[in-house]
């Protein structure tokens, strides 16, 4: 079982997709949008984030990424209105996935987003994005991140179908769809 790698996600990157998605979201009433996943990330890793966004949406999940859905937000001018908008997006999301990538620890927003969603829904998990092809068992979570389960993509036995799985450890897991509905990882 491998984690998402930077190179895999960058290969899914598409500048055309960004333009297409921004155009799509600019044409809808955003006040009524609901999401399966609020994708918390470092903007410095936007190529991997876009690859992850694409992977998740291809799996059928609705995903919030601020610079795609709310492209008009000024990332350099954070205001109370900006924070309120982000809070509303988190409230209208069933879960938060924290993309732990190269620049994640430099993000000032990621810990705030994680704390907010954890305090409101308890549906928070980590998506490790490794530089190498690490396995689930060799990825080390640091500090408070040890409180949260991992998410990884894996095939369904005897098929070519990929699903997301939520893992607490190598013996506790649940399929992501069930986790979104409130199920917790179970021990095998």
Measured in residues, the chain has a length of 188
pLDDT tens over the chain, length 188 residues: 456 888 888 887 676 777 777 777 776 777 789 999 999 999 999 889 999 999 999 999 999 999 989 988 887 788 899 999 999 999 999 999 999 888 888 888 999 999 999 998 889 999 988 776 555 555 556 678 888 998 988 877 788 788 899 998 888 999 999 999 999 888 88
pLDDT at 181: 94
CATH of residue 163: 3.40.50.10140
Phi, psi of 33 (to 5 degrees): -70, 140
pLDDT at 138: 52
Phi, psi of 182 (to 5 degrees): 115, -10
What's the structural domain count of the chain? Answer: 1
Residue-range definition of the domain harbouring residue 175: 4-26+33-187
28 within 8 A of 48, measured Cβ to Cβ: no
DSSP state of 3: -
| Selection from 118, 41, 26 nearest residue 72 by Cα | 26
DSSP 38-93: EEE--GGGHHHHHHHHHHHHHTT--EE-HHHHTTT--TTS--HHHHHHHHHHHHTE
pLDDT at 1: 44
H/E stretch holding 24 reads helix 15-26
- Sign of torsion over alpha carbons 119, 120, 121, 127: negative
């Amino acid at each position: 079982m491998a984690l998402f790698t930077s190179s895999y996600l960058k290969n899914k990157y598409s500048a055309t997709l960004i333009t297409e998605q921004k155009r799509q979201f600019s044409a809808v009433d955003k006040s009524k949008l609901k999401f399966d996943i609020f994708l918390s990330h470092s903007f410095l890793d936007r190529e991997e984030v876009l690859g992850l966004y694409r992977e998740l949406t291809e799996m059928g999940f609705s995903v919030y990424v601020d610079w795609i859905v709310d492209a008009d937000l000024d990332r350099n001018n954070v205001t109370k209105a900006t924070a309120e908008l982000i809070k509303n997006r988190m409230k209208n999301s069933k879960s938060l996935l924290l993309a732990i990538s190269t620049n994640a620890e430099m993000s000032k927003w990621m810990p705030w987003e994680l704390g907010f969603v954890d305090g409101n829904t308890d549906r928070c998990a980590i998506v490790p994005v490794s530089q190498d092809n690490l396995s689930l068992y060799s990825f080390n979570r640091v500090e408070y991140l040890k409180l949260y389960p991992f998410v990884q993509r894996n095939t369904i036995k005897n098929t070519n179908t990929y699903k997301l799985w939520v893992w607490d450890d190598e013996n506790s897991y649940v399929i992501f769809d069930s986790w979104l509905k409130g199920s917790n990882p179970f021990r095998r």
